Amino acid sequence: MPIRTVVWGENVHEQKNRIVAEIYPKGMHHCIADALNTDAGISATTATLQEPEHGLPAERLAETDVLLWWGHAAHGQVSDAVVERVAEQVWAGMGLILLHSAHFAKIFKRIMGTPCNLTWREAGERERLWVTSRSHPIARGLPDHFELENEEMYGEPFGVPEPMETVFVSWFQGGEVFRSGLTYRRGAGNVFYFRPGHETYPTYHDASVQTVLKNAVHWAHNPAARIADVNAAPNVPVQTALEPITERGPRLHQDGEEGLR
Amino acid sequence: MPIRTVVWGENVHEQKNRIVAEIYPKGMHHCIADALNTDAGISATTATLQEPEHGLPAERLAETDVLLWWGHAAHGQVSDAVVERVAEQVWAGMGLILLHSAHFAKIFKRIMGTPCNLTWREAGERERLWVTSRSHPIARGLPDHFELENEEMYGEPFGVPEPMETVFVSWFQGGEVFRSGLTYRRGAGNVFYFRPGHETYPTYHDASVQTVLKNAVHWAHNPAARIADVNAAPNVPVQTALEPITERGPRLHQDGEEGLR
Amino acid sequence: MPIRTVVWGENVHEQKNRIVAEIYPKGMHHCIADALNTDAGISATTATLQEPEHGLPAERLAETDVLLWWGHAAHGQVSDAVVERVAEQVWAGMGLILLHSAHFAKIFKRIMGTPCNLTWREAGERERLWVTSRSHPIARGLPDHFELENEEMYGEPFGVPEPMETVFVSWFQGGEVFRSGLTYRRGAGNVFYFRPGHETYPTYHDASVQTVLKNAVHWAHNPAARIADVNAAPNVPVQTALEPITERGPRLHQDGEEGLR
Amino acid sequence: MPIRTVVWGENVHEQKNRIVAEIYPKGMHHCIADALNTDAGISATTATLQEPEHGLPAERLAETDVLLWWGHAAHGQVSDAVVERVAEQVWAGMGLILLHSAHFAKIFKRIMGTPCNLTWREAGERERLWVTSRSHPIARGLPDHFELENEEMYGEPFGVPEPMETVFVSWFQGGEVFRSGLTYRRGAGNVFYFRPGHETYPTYHDASVQTVLKNAVHWAHNPAARIADVNAAPNVPVQTALEPITERGPRLHQDGEEGLR
């Protein structure tokens, strides 16, 4: 069965900005989904901010293997309930891929636990991405580096936790560097942040970028059954301890009591 | 100058539960602070839930090098504003040490970005902590293992991100194991989670536990000046780029504009 | 195509020790390979110390996707040339799974760069392995813990580098703990250490252990083409720099010169 | 007591190459040691390849808190016995700082367990180092970036294990990037690789580079007593198990026997 993938797009600039609309007439999310669907192992659909529950009701997330997220102008309009719902699905095993300005998406800040800030410049300068982890599954089929002739600059320091792996580091014409491809595991969910993708440039039409995204979907996919109650903190009664023990000393809790939160 | 340390105690069970009050007549926070103050390099005071702003107004946090946190029954009563304030100070460089049931403290879940759940049993069983990182600064002066004759059990899987380092792993009499000492770096802040410390046992009177806490304060202390605006994401204008570049292509933002969040 | 897997067995105790021979009449390596071959996605063969080049000539390694290694009594008899050959294949992308007493195998020490030591006791005690990374691909299909009624004890501190992920932690009846499942990436190669497997107990006949091994083969498999010259450190001439630069200042090297090693 | 620091220099190019000799009339090692000695908390001396045992007899290493290593032309002339001696001291708690072309030093490859290769170009181009871990102790007192007007280029992919932390990433004028400051822990030893330092440029006269080196010495210093037998793998007899257990099942080893290696 192909990997059930949802590309979430904020879909704001595509509607308001002529330049963005010309580059992505169907929206960035459709451009990305179309690219993913050229891979027979991926089945991608889209969801947007404007749909009810932002297109991410619980039932749909439960059947989503990997979620890609692009947002920029309207981070603040994303409902906290949906953010929490997505976070729980990630912990339960759903893959999550954050794109470009999604570094400031609520969901990314929620699961990173850090400011996720950086420096930036919108000058259409050249970006060159270098592979720092050779033969990493996310870099499959790519040479040691590839270029995007026009991109927004993001500069270090990038306010994220130390990643599990650094897969790409970017060079910028104006003199900055950035850790552009970072992997994390949060609960049972595989998380990948990928830097390029400013909306006024045709980044998601780039073949190398599309290769990264397809690879990342495969990498992020955890085929294990979704964890049912991802926040459970079950009490293990003395009577059912794996090694026989006798209760000793004073107790705070009574039998059958829930723990404190 | 000694390390300015604040021991935050929830101070609920000490007031309501006779057993806890007998073990910790001045409260757990005072017991811990007293232990820390036997180290000439540490100057520890206390703060509690019941004080205005939980004893953690902005001015005090700004002058706190390391904060220790113990909570259990009243996680939900901690103000979100204070949690966010503490998180920002951690990112800015304040050390943070989470104790035992603080695995479910709002501040720990906030900076971990995961459920932080586990299994548990309150049976006064034996816990043996093993050092897994020899000569780690947090294990200084300790043998390869030490025991707590009566402790609550916490069992794996522990719902936290992979740590920077695993310093201790616990063996429990009833058959479980737990990663009991974990280091993280979040922004400029050093973070340490330390498992033991159930309120109905005299854990914080234990010499080895006190050694760990003193070591952890030293380890967590970042002497660098606190970062001023820890959430800043400054624009770098084309004119001041470190390498001369010419602006190209379309733009979303105007000169002097703030970035989108 | 199934994953081309080689199970390397030292094959010494099976020949010399009646107990081991009775548990593993065809040798431990055959028992393991047979278990792996019940997975349609794996095609496993065996190699032993006693074969020419220990059964691992360059041609065979070049066609091996994942290598499992069990050794104990004869680590010192493994040729350094074969060790180096295996290390290079790992860096180039071959998966490597180290079993039990292979913690002291030359190849493991070679790619870890640390002593890889531990404490041990041979008393047939109970071991209980706990999953510390829920839904990790290597733990697929397993409950939160499983037991081996008779195993050798290995105790912390385990002298290895901090892993990429800790997947299992063991509890031992005699009071020790051990990080029993550890993942690493070395070059393009995925590396997994798995603790159980003492030769005088029927560990490799255990269904949960066999599940771990099958999962680990899938996890360790890197389908990317093997890196050709894994030690290359190519000079990038000024004339072919990606950004036009002019040579400045004094030089140590002449054009076309090899770098120093 | 100041941190007892030894700066090891290969001292070959300083003797043979006029340019290097002019920049570093006393040798690079003396330039570095002089810089370190401006820090009252550091007491630095030097050692060179040409001295007996390369200036690193066992007695001296036992009293060395932190060792810095610069080599390039003569990696192959370093005695394997000295390399192993240094590795053991690192595992036992000695700090180790690898400088520039020491990426190919035997000792670095020994404790990394990987090829440690990279791409390179000697063109005197501009390097700009960016801090990727704000307020990291090794970056203390530094701005977010600093420049070296003339340096050799090192490019990714850098063949090292994923570090504990990435502290610096370099931008190069010719279009490459490099992870220039990487921390590791190997046994009880703190290890730091720092990229700049090509011998034909005055890098070690640079104030920012000197700040990094001083910071790194403080960071690498582990004040714990050196571990005595860093390779020990002691047997724990059944009779002295921490929890009472009875021996069961067959045995390979006899009482009092050494383990197999």
Q: Provide the H-helix boundaries in B80-235.
A: 80-92, 106-112, 207-220
Q: State the pLDDT at residue C32.
A: 98
Which chain A positions have a beta carbon within 8 Å of B250's beta carbon? 19, 124, 200-201
Chain B nearest-CA distance from A69, in A, is: 15
| SS3 label, residue B148 | strand
Q: State the pLDDT at residue C250.
A: 86
Among residues C29, C75, C76, which one has the least CA distance to residue C48? C29
Subunit contact B188:D134, Cβ cutoff 8 A:
yes
Chain D nearest-CA distance from B135, in A, is: 5
Between residues 53 and 72 of chain C, which touch chain D (CB distance below 8 Å)?
A: 72
Alpha carbon distance A221, A226 (integer Å): 11
Q: Provide the H-helix boundaries in chain C.
A: 13-16, 18-23, 28-36, 58-62, 80-92, 106-112, 207-220
Which chain C positions have a beta carbon within 8 Å of B128's beta carbon? 175, 177
Q: Is B173 on the interface with C (CB under 8 A)?
A: no
Using only C-alpha atoms, chain A has a radius of gyration, in whole angstroms, of: 21
Alpha carbon distance B35, B44 (integer Å): 9
Residues β-bridged to residue C9 = C48, C70
- For D190, the enclosing helix (H) or strand (E) is strand D189-194
Percent of chain D predicted with pLDDT > 70: 100
Q: State the pLDDT at residue C114.
A: 98
Q: State the pLDDT at residue D251.
A: 84
Give me the domains of chain C, ranges plus CATH numbers: 3-220 (3.40.50.880)
Alpha carbon distance D129, D167 (integer Å): 10
Q: Is B135 on the interface with D (CB under 8 A)?
A: yes
Q: State the pLDDT at residue B257.
A: 74
For residue D157, give the nearest of A134, A164, A176 by CB distance: A134
Residues β-bridged to residue C181 = C168, C194
Is the pTM higher than 0.90? The answer reads yes
> Chains that contact C by 3+ CB pairs under 8 Å?
A, B, D
D167 pLDDT more than 90: yes
Q: Is A37 exposed, middle or buried (0-12, 13-18, 19+ CB in 10 A)?
A: middle
Q: State the pLDDT at residue D259.
A: 81
Alpha carbon distance C119, C99 (integer Å): 16
Subunit contact C232:D117, Cβ cutoff 8 A:
yes
- Which tokens sit at B187? 């922004």
Assess contact for D248 and C125: CB atoms under 8 A: yes
For residue C128, give the nearest of A164, A227, A242 by CB distance: A242
DSSP string, B223-249: -SPPPS-TT---B--GGG-SS-----S
Alpha carbon distance A259, B12 (integer Å): 15
Among residues D238, A76, D257, which one has the least CA distance to residue C124? D238
Task: State the average pLDDT over residues C85-90.
Answer: 98
Subunit contact D128:B242, Cβ cutoff 8 A:
yes
Task: State the average pLDDT over residues B165-187.
Answer: 98
Q: Which residue of C has its CA nearest to A167?
A: C188
Subunit contact B137:D185, Cβ cutoff 8 A:
no
Q: Is B110 on the interface with D (CB under 8 A)?
A: no
- Per-residue pLDDT of C168-212, as tens digits, reads 999 999 999 999 999 999 999 999 999 999 999 999 999 999 999
Subunit contact D158:A132, Cβ cutoff 8 A:
yes
Q: Is A240 on the interface with C (CB under 8 A)?
A: no
Subunit contact D177:A175, Cβ cutoff 8 A:
no
For residue D245, give the nearest of C173, C233, C252 by CB distance: C173
For residue A175, give the nearest of B13, B75, B243 by CB distance: B243
Q: State the pLDDT at residue C238.
A: 94
Torsion, Cα of B11, B15, B18, B21 (10° steps): 50
Torsions phi, psi of D171, nearest 5? -105, 135
Q: Which residue of A has its CA nearest to C221?
A: A137
Alpha carbon distance B225, D134 (integer Å): 11
Q: State the pLDDT at residue D237.
A: 94
Q: State the pLDDT at residue D258.
A: 77
**Greater pLDDT, D261 or C90:** C90
DSSP B85: H
Subunit contact B236:A200, Cβ cutoff 8 A:
no
Subunit contact D174:C120, Cβ cutoff 8 A:
no
**Greater pLDDT, C251 or B115:** B115
Distances (CA, A) of A177 to A159, B124, C151, D61, D149: 14, 53, 51, 38, 17
Task: State the average pLDDT over residues D207-236.
Answer: 97
Q: How confident is the model at residue C33 (pLDDT cuts 50, 70, 90)?
A: very high
Alpha carbon distance A239, D72 (integer Å): 65
Subunit contact C156:B128, Cβ cutoff 8 A:
no
Subunit contact A124:B248, Cβ cutoff 8 A:
yes
Q: State the pLDDT at residue A252.
A: 85
**pLDDT, one tens digit for every residue, chain A (261 residues):** 999 999 999 999 999 999 999 999 999 999 999 999 999 999 999 999 999 999 999 999 999 999 999 999 999 999 999 999 999 999 999 999 999 999 999 999 999 999 999 999 999 999 999 999 999 999 999 999 999 999 999 999 999 999 999 999 999 999 999 999 999 999 999 999 999 999 999 999 999 999 999 999 999 999 999 999 999 999 999 999 999 999 998 888 877 677 888
DSSP C137: G
- Per-residue pLDDT of B25-56, as tens digits, reads 999 999 999 999 999 999 999 999 999 999 99
Q: Locate the DSSP E strands across B54-135.
A: 66-70, 95-99, 119-131
Contacts of B51 (CB under 8 A, 6+ apart): none
Q: Is C174 on the interface with A (CB under 8 A)?
A: no
Q: Is A247 on the interface with B (CB under 8 A)?
A: yes
Q: How confident is the model at residue C254 (pLDDT cuts 50, 70, 90)?
A: confident
Q: State the pLDDT at residue C261.
A: 82
- Per-residue pLDDT of C121-160, as tens digits, reads 999 999 999 999 999 999 999 999 999 999 999 999 999 9
- Per-residue pLDDT of D77-86, as tens digits, reads 999 999 999 9
Chain B nearest-CA distance from C104, in A, is: 18
Q: Is B175 on the interface with C (CB under 8 A)?
A: yes
Alpha carbon distance C106, C49 (integer Å): 13
**ipTM score of complex:** 0.96
